[in-house]
Amino acid sequence: MKGPVVITGGGTGGHVFPMQAIAEQLRALGLDDRRLRFVGSRRGQEAALLGDGAVELTLLPGRGVRRSWTLAAVRDNIGAIAGLVSACAIALVKVGRWRPAAVVSVGGYASFPSSLAAVLWRRPLVLVDLDAAPGATHRVLARFAARRCTAFDDHDPRSVTTGAPLRASVLAVDRSPAARQGARAASSPPIDAGRAVVVVMTGSLGSRRVNLAVSALARRWERRRDRTLIHVTGRRDYDEVWSQRPATSELDYRIIDFADMSDLWALCDVALCRSGATTVAELTALGIASVLVPLPGAPGDHQSVNASVVAAAGGARVIEDGACSAERLAVVLDEVLAPATLTAMSAAAASIGRRDAAAAIAKVVLDAAGSR
């Protein structure tokens, strides 16, 4: 196989982590770090999450387009389009120089320049659709792709249903009862064995609506000795949530801004999350019962579609963003934490999980690159 494999995408952790997972599996199949390249956006989390790794990282200008016609949005979108044009020009030069064996796109605005360059230079393009509803970039490029990997079966004979790729650190999480008790005992401070653990995570920035509802839920649960509530606020809302934290007397309430979710998935009973593709893939692969609050206005309403797939299998309850309140959360979480319900939902989530997705995608990539 001549030329490197370029993995492109980004803007959020939901794109960056799948890029890492695919690279891990390509290494496992024999490619060293010199045969891999990451391409992302200067504005996203790529620099923070990928910048110190052994794989060379290229960051391009640009930002996502705002779906609004307000004066501020139009002004921002003019800048976004200018940045995209610049990024496409840079990508065209770099892809022409690299002559990659394949370009792999996991989506997001950061993936478009390198994917377009792959098409123009006639390099094999592999699209990895993480969500049940593909994003705009992949809808535009689908007709030019050599292969397409999908997280959910879309009945397209040209695509391969692989699931969404997960990092090895996530797949290594042991969810057995003994391991979960060990993880709780090892946390700082330790979590009492008799408490049910609810983990809240709504992305690296966080959801203000969910964060405020959870803060109010903590106040409602202040005398509950049977609950631990771990609230990952995201960096944007942390100071506000911390400043307004209730004086809980019995509830074990922990507020953090960001966390390695592998550590928290190892000890939680129920997850309260948005329904981005990577989050859904992690919850189902690990068999974690969840309450999902889809992000309103997500492109193609893909988070609602993702959530509906898990809910239809019985692994999640769905609360619409506008209905997310402390009162509603209290009712739904009490229902989910009933032992029989929790066991059934965990098994249902696991029934649709794909633990081999990254390996399956890596094989498709190498097939497209002509090395298998």
- For residues 66 and 193, membership in a common domain is answered with no
- For residues 161 and 194, membership in a common domain is answered with no
- For residues 220 and 261, membership in a common domain is answered with yes
CA distance 372 to 365: 10
Q: How many domains does the chain have?
A: 2
CB 332 within 8 Å of CB 291: yes
- For residues 213 and 333, membership in a common domain is answered with yes
Backbone angles phi, psi at 291, to 5 degrees: -115, 120
- For residues 122 and 221, membership in a common domain is answered with no
Q: Which helix (H) or strand (E) holds 251?
A: none
The CA-to-CA distance between both ends of the chain, in Å, stands at: 9
Which residues are bridge partners to 40 per DSSP? 59
- For residues 57 and 185, membership in a common domain is answered with no
- For residues 360 and 290, membership in a common domain is answered with no
- For residues 344 and 361, membership in a common domain is answered with no
CA distance 127 to 7: 10
Domain limits for position 235: 169-351
What CATH number did the domain enclosing 267 receive? 3.40.50.2000
Q: Which residues contact 328 (CB under 8 A, 6 or more apart)?
A: 213, 319
What is the pTM assigned to this prediction? 0.88
Token output for 369: 């690159």
- Tell me which long-range contacts 90-95 makes (C-beta under 8 A, separation of at least 24): 90/60, 90/61, 91/39, 91/60, 91/116, 91/117, 92/116, 92/117, 92/120, 92/121, 94/39, 94/58, 95/6, 95/121, 95/123
pLDDT tens for the chain, 372 residues: list them: 689 999 999 766 678 899 999 999 999 999 999 999 999 988 777 877 788 889 999 999 876 666 666 776 667 657 667 878 999 999 999 999 999 999 999 998 889 999 999 999 999 999 999 987 788 889 999 999 999 999 887 777 778 999 999 999 999 999 999 999 999 999 999 999 999 999 999 987 789 999 999 999 999 999 999 999 999 999 899 999 999 999 888 999 999 998 889 999 999 999 999 999 999 999 999 999 999 999 998 777 889 999 999 999 999 999 999 999 999 999 999 999 999 999 999 999 999 999 999 999 999 999 999 854
- For residues 113 and 33, membership in a common domain is answered with yes
Token output for 71: 């004066």
